[in-house]
Structure 1
Amino acid sequence: MSVMKKKKDNNYLDYIPVKNPEIEYGTDENGRVTVYIEWKGFYHRIAQKFFHRPRVSDVKLDDYGSFVWLAIDDMKDVHQLSKELDARFPKMEKSLSRLIKFLEILHDNRLIRWKGEKVK
């Protein structure tokens, strides 16, 4: 089975995002989330030493991202999250596709995994 075929068969609505327990985050007085990513590994150490790259990056999420991040409770599936997002931001265009793309970015950067997925 090719990778493209496998990707097309995914039904993201049934996926349950689970936060990476190693990721720290904070919330400011406006409810906006900042996620702190620690760069580990050989190549990151080289970049830190020679290119003065920070050991920890802070990623500030917007209102939508903050809402989704805080709504992830390791039990709700993407469909439930999309309904909550629509209720909170009723004028948001293409909310489901934006939600899925955001979750894919979180997943690609190992900030979340899908429930039942083996940890790499």
Structure 2
Amino acid sequence: MASKKNNNYLDFIPIINPQNDWSEDEEGVVTIHMVHRGFYAAIAQKFFHTPRVSHIKLDEYGSFLWKELDGRRTVGQLAQRMKEQFGDKAEPLYDRLVHYMQILHNNKFILFQGKDRVKP
């Protein structure tokens, strides 16, 4: 019988989804440019004039975190970097960070190395 493997979220390694572009302004604020793909997105664009690209502007914390996603740091290491950068302002650090990473992952802005397939 194979043993059940426990996955610790802090050990996950997030990577930026290569399907989305992003940019940084003069103040260091990151904007993710998400292209709406697929059949339903095409219908919505044609008939309801929805935009082909959405521009999602991150806040100070999100922008800092985004620029730290190098494909080598774990979520736990990213938490440490947030603590070093923002100190007590980042608290409650782990709950907020895990929730934020889940939002980024659910919206396909990031992928988890070894967990998600990366499409070309």
The two structures have a TM-score, normalised by structure 1, of 0.88
Q: Secondary structure at the match of 1:44?
A: helix
Q: After the TM superposition, which parts of structure 1 deviate over 3 Å for at least 4 consecutive aligned residues?
A: none
What is the aligned partner in structure 2 of residue 77 from structure 1?
74
What is the aligned partner in structure 1 of residue 86 from structure 2?
89
Q: Secondary structure at the match of 1:119?
A: coil
Aligned pair count reads 113
Shift of 1:24: 0.4
Amino acid at match of 1:109: N
Residue segments in structure 2 that go unaligned for 5+ positions in a row: none
Kindly report the root-mean-square deviation, in angstroms, between the aligned alpha carbons of the 2 structures. 1.5
Residue segments in structure 1 that go unaligned for 5+ positions in a row: 1-5
Following the alignment from structure 2 to structure 1, what is the Cα–Cα distance between the partners of residues 71 and 77?
A: 12
Following the alignment from structure 2 to structure 1, what is the Cα–Cα distance between the partners of residues 112 and 96?
A: 17
Mapping of 1:1-120 within 5 angstroms? 9-91=6-88, 92-119=90-117
Following the alignment from structure 2 to structure 1, what is the Cα–Cα distance between the partners of residues 24 and 63?
A: 9
Following the alignment from structure 1 to structure 2, what is the Cα–Cα distance between the partners of residues 74 and 115?
A: 8
Shift of 1:10: 3.4
Shift of 1:49: 1.4
Superposed CA offset, 1:53-82 (max 9, x none): 100000000000001100000000011000
Following the alignment from structure 2 to structure 1, what is the Cα–Cα distance between the partners of residues 55 and 47?
A: 20
